[in-house]
Amino acid sequence: AQTVTQSQPEMSVQEAETVTLSCTYDTSESDYYLFWYKQPPSRQMILVIRQEAYKQQNATENRFSVNFQKAAKSFSLKISDSQLGDAAMYFCACDPNSGYALNFGKGTSLLVTP
Amino acid sequence: DGGITQSPKYLFRKEGQNVTLSCEQNLNHDAMYWYRQDPGQGLRLIYYSQIVNDFQKGDIAEGYSVSREKKESFPLTVTSAQKNPTAFYLCASSSLTGARSNTGELFFGEGSRLTVL
């Protein structure tokens, strides 16, 4: 079984500043995918960024980047130059690539203040 | 446009009634999923299906049932056996897991909010 832990129920950041959301996971698989999803007030789940475990290079998508530490099973999300539209619930998820479904953390609510 | 359609968006149920939530996708995805979302609980897997006429229980399948008669459709029935059905339900789909070409990404519908009166 896989577990995903997000230890920060809520985070706050000022506009234009940088914030890091934490995620740790537990899996016995050697090959897997990791994801960060965003859920704004509309509740539509949106993929933010994806990391393949066999790639050592950290994924980057514009203002979003990850710090992937495979040995520590850590997968944090960094949001640079935060914008008001970044305010949302953020979920970390792991896909063990073993035929099962994504396993999600409990989420971190991000507040962005002007 | 390709995507996932869930209906209805809002549903009210009296205690003791079964209700069915619809989920249709036109992405030609093999796998489909149902998740339940409660405040502070994240997304919890109810059922998933990787192929037509086959499905597997997730972590919280008790009180729910599904069918997969067509590749495009994966309806979820919330039965009267589900003791606390008030929640937000999300349907998702993906390319078949296990294939190296598959990125594992889930595509989500807009969700259905079920309230028991």
Q: Do A104 and B43 touch (CB under 8 A)?
A: yes
Contact A9, A1 (CB under 8 A): no
Contact B36, B51 (CB under 8 A): no
Could you read off the pLDDT of B13-57 as tens digits, one per residue?
898 899 999 999 999 999 999 999 998 888 999 999 989 999 999
Could you read off the pLDDT of B78-108 as tens digits, one per residue?
998 888 999 999 999 988 655 555 567 889 9
Q: How far apart are CA B34 and CA B59, in angstroms?
A: 11
CB neighbourhood size of B107 (10 A):
18
Contacts of B111 in chain A (CB under 8 A): 43-44
Contacts of B108 in chain A (CB under 8 A): 44-45
A96: left (phi over 0), alpha (psi -120 to 50) or beta: alpha
Q: How far apart are CA A68 and CA A51, in angstroms?
A: 8
Tokens representing B36? 């339940």
pLDDT along chain A (114 residues), means of 10: 88 98 91 92 94 90 96 96 97 78 92 97
